[in-house]
């Protein structure tokens, strides 16, 4: 990397009112992070700032869209009170352990206490090289920044635990990938950036002292009470999270342990995607060649991640209860029941039927029907809800070429006297369809952010969209279908 002769970021004295930063992570021992100022960028320009989220974080919404804020969210100015750092972590990437990953293109500016009294991290993504960048440039192209903004905010509106999007700015720089792209900086908000990989980082170094400090920090931040309690809480939250993803047709795409949060929030919107046509083996990520993180494999992989978390916690659990293995193994095994219960609950609601394990076969047979006839996942449930409401099955049937198999399944389902009101609440009308995300990104690269803004607004109301936004409910036309997604890193 060429040494930049641009000025290093100024400490702002005039930012008023400042973001009320605390820096609890920067107060941990130096093994946990590396101090890191963001790189200077030549020409920061606003794409969007999330005023309601700023308010929630106790940041004045008017300030949040000011010229000072633009400098802060581009990394050119460090707000008073912020001690920017890059966090250390490890991770299993597609199953292979990498003992040091860390924030290679992210910088934690600090934490704030939100209006609900909860600590929230504010971090820049794409603000230049850090001690953990390895061969990378630490930058972010505009496309991935827009994707993360759109999808993470849509996930929030859909009720899915998720990191949030506070801002996107363009930098005036070119980011070199396989092509040249406009550069951007994304401001991410998370209830913390603790990952399974953060524990793995210290466990791999057999640094028990740091593991204890990390555990105490995680307990203070996320509760759980003990190492065992933290593991149980993580397992319950991730089992519920994956069931919720699957109920929306969401495929995370890169469920490595460094992208698996201790808080149970969805984190890292790299190659993620929502399915159009349903298939359990559906994969979008260009780098997931084995289908490790396919739609239907997500519970197994989340449980695998939880087993890796349990391993890192063993010495700490041992300090609490003696022989840690039987309890840890039983807890990891409990993921399966937690997930199955959560999956059944979500899908029973989607079908408007009673939450009863005896109904599992009706659900499975519907998924087989959808897969064999390439039915659009979201549309299937919306048309099914319409059948529950009005009784007419014509529109629902239109998605199937083998009408007799579809009719047979529908008869069986109707015997359950489905509850249409429950279905309405469980089946969103809008999801962030890939082709729309892709069109918004392409618009952004042309300097036209109108679709990006329109989708951001539309996806705030996935259950009851404005009439004008119903155009975004339609599945893609054959030439619009997006089959592959890329991290863009």
Task: Show which residues are catalytic.
Answer: 258
The tokens for 113 are: 């206490």
> 141 or 277: whose CB is closer to ligand AMP?
141
> 261 or 383: whose CB is closer to ligand AMP?
261
Partner in contact with 295, chosen from ligand AMP, Mg ion, none, beta carbon below 5 to 8 Å by kind: none
- What are the start-end ranges of the H helices in 5-122? 51-56, 61-64, 67-73
What values do phi and psi take at 184, rounded to 5?
-150, 160
- Other CB atoms within 10 Å distance of the CB of residue 302: 24
The tokens for 469 are: 């936004």
Partner in contact with 489, chosen from Mg ion, ligand AMP, none, beta carbon below 5 to 8 Å by kind: ligand AMP
CB of 102 to ligand AMP, least distance (A): 5
Partner in contact with 102, chosen from ligand AMP, Mg ion, none, beta carbon below 5 to 8 Å by kind: ligand AMP
Residue given tokens 């060429």 in the structure block: 2
> 130 or 383: whose CB is closer to ligand AMP?
130
Partner in contact with 133, chosen from Mg ion, ligand AMP, none, beta carbon below 5 to 8 Å by kind: ligand AMP
Identify whether the C-beta of residue 263 lies closer than 8 Å to the C-beta of residue 191: yes
Candidates 262, 269, 221, 242; CA nearest to 434 is 269
CB of 254 to ligand AMP, least distance (A): 5
> 302 or 458: whose CB is closer to Mg ion?
302
Positions in the binding site for ligand AMP (CB under 6 A): 101-105, 132-133, 136-139, 254, 258-259, 268, 270, 487, 489
Of the residues 232, 268, 379, 469, which one makes contact with Mg ion according to CB under 5 A = 268
Identify whether the C-beta of residue 189 lies closer than 8 Å to the C-beta of residue 200: no
DSSP reduced 3-state for 486: coil
> 3 or 467: whose CB is closer to ligand AMP?
3
Distance CA 124, CA 84 (A): 10
CB of 192 to ligand AMP, least distance (A): 16
DSSP reduced 3-state for 166: strand
Query: Across the strands, what pairs with 125?
Result: 106, 186
Count Cβ atoms within 10 A of the Cβ of residue 77 and give its class: 0-12 exposed, 13-18 middle, 19 or more buried. buried
CB of 256 to ligand AMP, least distance (A): 6
Question: How far lies 280's CA from each of 236, 266, 441, 488, in Å?
Answer: 23, 20, 27, 25
Using rule CB under 5 A, residue 130 touches Mg ion: no
Count Cβ atoms within 10 A of the Cβ of residue 446 and give its class: 0-12 exposed, 13-18 middle, 19 or more buried. exposed
CB of 289 to Mg ion, least distance (A): 19
Choose the stretch contacting Mg ion; rule: CB under 5 A; options: 109-117, 266-274, 423-431, 480-488: 266-274
Distance CA 74, CA 61 (A): 17
CB of 484 to Mg ion, least distance (A): 19
Partner in contact with 136, chosen from ligand AMP, Mg ion, none, beta carbon below 5 to 8 Å by kind: ligand AMP
Of the residues 39, 187, 259, 312, which one makes contact with Mg ion according to CB under 5 A = 259
Site string for Mg ion, 177-206 (x = CB under 5 A): ------------------------------
> 126 or 465: whose CB is closer to ligand AMP?
126
Partner in contact with 104, chosen from Mg ion, ligand AMP, none, beta carbon below 5 to 8 Å by kind: ligand AMP
Candidates 31, 27, 145; CA nearest to 88 is 31
**Contact positions toward Mg ion, by CB under 5 A?**
259, 268
């Amino acid at each position: 990397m060429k040494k930049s002769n641009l000025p290093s970021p100024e400490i702002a004295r005039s930012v008023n009112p400042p973001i009320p930063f605390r820096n609890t992570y920067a107060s941990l021992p130096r093994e946990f992070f590396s101090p890191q100022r963001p790189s200077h960028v030549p020409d920061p320009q606003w794409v969007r700032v999330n005023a309601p989220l700023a308010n929630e974080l106790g940041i004045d919404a008017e300030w949040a869209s000011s010229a000072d804020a633009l400098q802060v969210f581009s990394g050119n100015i460090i707000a008073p009170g912020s001690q920017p750092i890059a966090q250390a972590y490890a991770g299993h990437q597609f199953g292979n352990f990498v003992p040091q990953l860390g924030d290679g293109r992210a910088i934690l500016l600090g934490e704030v206490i939100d209006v609900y009294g909860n600590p929230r991290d504010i971090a820049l993504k794409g603000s230049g090289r850090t001690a953990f960048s390895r061969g990378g440039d630490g930058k972010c192209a505009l496309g991935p920044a827009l994707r993360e903004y759109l999808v993470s905010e849509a996930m929030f509106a859909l009720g899915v635990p998720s990191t949030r999007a506070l801002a996107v700015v363009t930098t005036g720089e070119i980011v070199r990938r396989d092509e040249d792209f406009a550069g951007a900086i994304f401001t991410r908000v998370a209830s913390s950036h603790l990952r399974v990989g953060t524990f793995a980082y210290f466990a791999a170094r057999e640094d028990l002292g740091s593991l204890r400090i990390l555990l105490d920090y995680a307990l203070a931040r996320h509760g759980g009470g003990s190492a065992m309690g933290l593991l149980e809480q993580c397992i319950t939250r991730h089992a519920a999270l994956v069931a919720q993803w699957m109920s929306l047709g969401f495929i995370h795409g890169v469920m490595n342990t460094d992208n698996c949060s201790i808080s149970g929030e969805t984190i890292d919107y790299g190659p993620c995607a929502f399915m159009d046509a349903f298939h359990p083996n559906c994969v979008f990520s260009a780098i997931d060649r084995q289908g490790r993180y396919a739609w239907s494999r997500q519970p197994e992989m989340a449980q695998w991640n939880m087993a890796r978390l349990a391993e890192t916690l063993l010495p700490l659990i041992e300090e609490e209860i003696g022989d840690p293995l039987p309890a840890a193994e039983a807890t990891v095994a409990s993921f399966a029941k937690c997930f199955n219960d959560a999956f059944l609950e979500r899908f029973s609601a989607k079908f408007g039927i009673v939450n009863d394990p005896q109904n599992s076969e009706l659900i499975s047979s519907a998924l087989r029907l959808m897969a064999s006839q390439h039915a659009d996942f979201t549309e299937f449930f919306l048309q099914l809800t319409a059948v529950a409401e009005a009784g007419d099955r014509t529109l629902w049937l239109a998605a199937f070429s083998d009408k007799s198999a579809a009719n047979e399944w529908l008869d069986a389902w109707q015997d359950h006297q489905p509850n249409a009101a429950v279905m309405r609440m469980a089946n969103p009308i809008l999801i962030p369809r890939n082709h729309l995300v892709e069109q918004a990104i392409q618009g952004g690269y042309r300097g036209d952010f109108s679709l990006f803004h329109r989708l951001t607004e539309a996806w705030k109301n996935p259950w009851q969209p404005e009439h004008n936004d119903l155009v975004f409910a339609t599945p893609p036309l054959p030439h619009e279908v997006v089959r592959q997604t890329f991290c863009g890193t």
